[in-house]
């Protein structure tokens, strides 16, 4: 009798068989002709996996353990594949979360740069307004200086005329 592969939560129960002898089961490190092959890249990646992740050897041991417990090769394959898929899904979710956090950090930095740029642009506008006011004040000061110079010339001319009139009156008198 084989176990139901769709209900692994029942545990690894052995089918009830009268007089069954316990046998020592040798579990090879890699299944010969089994469903699992591991690339070199995967082996290197395994070294960096989280502690709760199963290694290829653990999957292999589980597969052979299930077989020894009376599971059919198909049921053992399905259980191990489901476990692998769950592990891969968790890895993908973690990777997606990490990437989302990185993207958010980049967006935050860009937003701060944009705010800084906006602040700099506002500062440039204030500087431009202040420069325009300064130019206007320079023009007014120049006009005032020019007006004073004109008044000084007129006063000098009036002084000269007054001196001539006084000289002429003094000469006639």
Can you tell me which residue has the tokens 């300064």? Answer: 134
Question: Does 20 reside within a domain?
Answer: no
pLDDT one digit per residue (tens) for the chain, 173 residues: 444 444 444 444 544 444 444 455 554 444 444 445 555 555 555 555 544 456 778 878 888 888 899 988 898 888 888 888 878 888 899 999 999 999 999 999 999 988 888 888 989 999 999 999 999 999 999 999 999 999 999 999 999 999 999 998 888 76
Sequence-separated (6 or more) residues with CB below 8 Å from residue 55: 46, 49
pLDDT of residue 30: 46
Query: Contact, 56 vs 36, CB < 8 A?
Result: yes
Domain of residue 64 covers: 25-93
pLDDT of residue 33: 45
Question: Does 157 reside within a domain?
Answer: no
pLDDT of residue 102: 95
pLDDT of residue 101: 95
pLDDT of residue 58: 80
Give the whole-angstrom CA distance, residue 75 versus residue 83: 12
Question: Does 49 reside within a domain?
Answer: yes
- Residues 34-57 as b/e (b if ≥16 CB within 10 A, e otherwise) read beeeeeeeeeeeeeeeeeeebebe
Question: Does 17 reside within a domain?
Answer: no
pLDDT of residue 75: 87
Query: Contact, 88 vs 20, CB < 8 A?
Result: no
Question: Does 142 reside within a domain?
Answer: no
* Number of domains comprising the chain: 1
pLDDT of residue 3: 45
pLDDT of residue 2: 44
Question: Does 48 reside within a domain?
Answer: yes
pLDDT of residue 154: 93
Question: Does 88 reside within a domain?
Answer: yes
Question: Does 145 reside within a domain?
Answer: no
For residue 49, what is the DSSP state?
S
For residue 55, what is the DSSP state?
P
């Amino acid at each position: 009798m084989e176990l139901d592969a769709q209900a692994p939560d029942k545990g690894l129960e052995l089918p009830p068989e009268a007089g069954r002898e316990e046998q020592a089961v040798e579990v090879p490190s890699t299944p010969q002709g089994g469903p699992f092959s591991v690339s070199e890249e995967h082996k290197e990646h395994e070294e960096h996996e989280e502690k709760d992740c199963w290694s290829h050897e653990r999957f292999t041991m589980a597969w052979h353990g299930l077989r020894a417990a009376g599971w059919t090769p198909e049921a053992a394959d399905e259980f191990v594949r489901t476990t692998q898929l769950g592990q891969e899904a968790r890895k993908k979710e973690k990777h997606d979360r990490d990437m989302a956090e990185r993207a958010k950090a980049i967006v935050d930095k860009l937003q701060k740069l944009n705010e800084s740029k906006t602040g700099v642009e506002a500062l440039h506008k204030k500087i431009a307004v202040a420069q325009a006011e300064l130019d206007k004040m320079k023009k007014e000061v120049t006009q005032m200086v020019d007006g004073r110079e004109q008044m000084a010339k007129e006063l000098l001319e009036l002084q000269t005329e007054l001196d001539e009139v006084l000289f002429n009156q003094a000469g006639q008198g």
